[in-house]
A and B are shown apart, each in its own frame.
Chain A
């Protein structure tokens, strides 16, 4: 990370913390309780942004994975950056996914009387989380030259679950409510405002963390790539001396 990059990230950090603080203020103290759910509606303001986060970072993981597969032979250095970005977005996506499930479960215990149910939305969401957890485990467990390729292919298959998760409340009868935004009927302004602030805040925060994780991973991969090139160089030098 250059000096300019560090300054940009500090500014980004201050903006993210400011947005999070304001989002928390609006969610807890500057919005009314709901007529049906009471103060439990405030759970939504910290539940929904997690799914928007997962809905942004997991598709970015797909884009980076496809870019890696496309560039790995023609431009290995750019492919290496794409692979680093894929890792950073997958980790952030999993964090959002897990938080989305756990906050949903805590809300469900109060509103439905159960922690979990095997309906289509929850089951496909659990599958999504498990697919991306397996992606991260695969990255840690394998150490071969084809590791990035295998992970990129898994990421493409993993992404296929995202449209199924999104459409599950439309395709099947589910315990999970239908989409609040973009669904039938209108949403009260008192709910929209804290939701939007918290979505923006958590996405800005997620972007910052992804950018730092990406920079760290690029460093590591760049170094091992340079080491590999140096080893090949030494090897070919030795070979030419013997010949």
Chain B
């Protein structure tokens, strides 16, 4: 995915002012920030769903 992202030139790269290492790190920064934030959002949604299920089951036990 990283290679695809880099090869598609989504992240600007100019060989006269940038190094391949810098470009790779720049791609890594954008991909990593996006993925980590998405992963934490998924974890949060999971917590929300689990808490809803637990509340429903405890309500049904009460009744």
CB distance A29 to B33 under 8 Å?
A: no
> Known interface pairs A216-B47, A219-B51. Does A43 touch B40 (Cβ–Cβ under 8 Å)?
no
Q: Which single member of A209, A216, A223 contacts B58 (CB below 8 Å)? A: A223
User: Given known contacts A40-B18, A213-B44, A213-B47, is B55 in contact with A223 (CB within 8 Å)?
Assistant: yes
Query: Cβ of B32 and Cβ of A103 under 8 Å apart?
Result: yes
CA distance A216 to B49 in the complex (A): 8
User: Which residues of chain B are near A209, meaning CB under 8 Å?
Assistant: 37, 40-41, 44
Inside 8 A of A217's CB, which chain B residues have their CB?
47, 51
Choose from A1, A39, A46, A91 the contact partner of B18 (Cβ within 8 Å). A39
Point out the residues of chain B lying under 8 angstroms from A33, CB to CB. Answer: 12, 14, 17-18
B-facing mask of A14-51, CB < 8 A → 1, else 0? Answer: 00000000001000110001000011101100110010
Task: With A47-B29, A102-B32 as known contacts, state yes or no: A39 contacts B17, CB within 8 Å.
Answer: yes
Is A232 an interface residue, CB under 8 A from the partner?
A: no
CB distance from B59 to the nearest CB of A (A): 9
A39→B36 contact, CB < 8 A: no
**A191 on interface, CB distance cutoff 8 Å:** no
How many of chain B's residues touch chain A, expressed as a range?
20 to 34
B12 and A29 form a contact (CB under 8 A): yes
Chain B nearest CB: distance from A18 CB in Å?
A: 15
Checking A91, A92, A95, A110 against B19 with a beta-carbon cut-off of 8 angstroms, the contacting residue is A110
Residues of B17-59 whose CB lies within 8 A of A = 17-19, 21-23, 25-26, 28-30, 32-33, 36-37, 40-41, 44-45, 47-48, 50-52, 54-55, 58
Return A111 CB to nearest CB of chain B, in Å.
8
A237 and B19 CA atoms in complex are apart in Å by: 75
Q: What is the distance, in angstroms, from B63's C-beta to the closest C-beta of chain A?
A: 13
Q: Given A28-B11, A215-B48: A43 and B33 within 8 A (CB)?
A: no
Inter-chain CA distance A209–B10, complex, in Å, is: 27
Q: A28-B10, A216-B44, A219-B55 are in contact. Are A38 and B33 (CB under 8 A)?
A: no
- Residues of chain A contacted by B36 (CB below 8 angstroms): 95, 98-99
Does chain B have a CB within 8 A of A227?
yes
User: Which of A39, A50, A220 is the one whose CB lies under 8 Å from B22?
Assistant: A39
22 contacts between A and B (CB under 8 A): A33-B12, A39-B12, A39-B13, A40-B26, A43-B26, A46-B29, A95-B36, A95-B40, A99-B37, A102-B32, A107-B25, A110-B19, A110-B22, A209-B37, A212-B44, A212-B45, A213-B47, A215-B48, A216-B48, A217-B51, A219-B51, A219-B54
Q: In the complex, given contacts A38-B17, A209-B40, what are 13 additional A-B residue pairs having Cβ atoms less than 8 angstroms apart? A: A28-B10, A39-B12, A39-B13, A39-B23, A42-B26, A43-B25, A50-B33, A95-B40, A99-B37, A103-B32, A110-B21, A209-B44, A219-B54
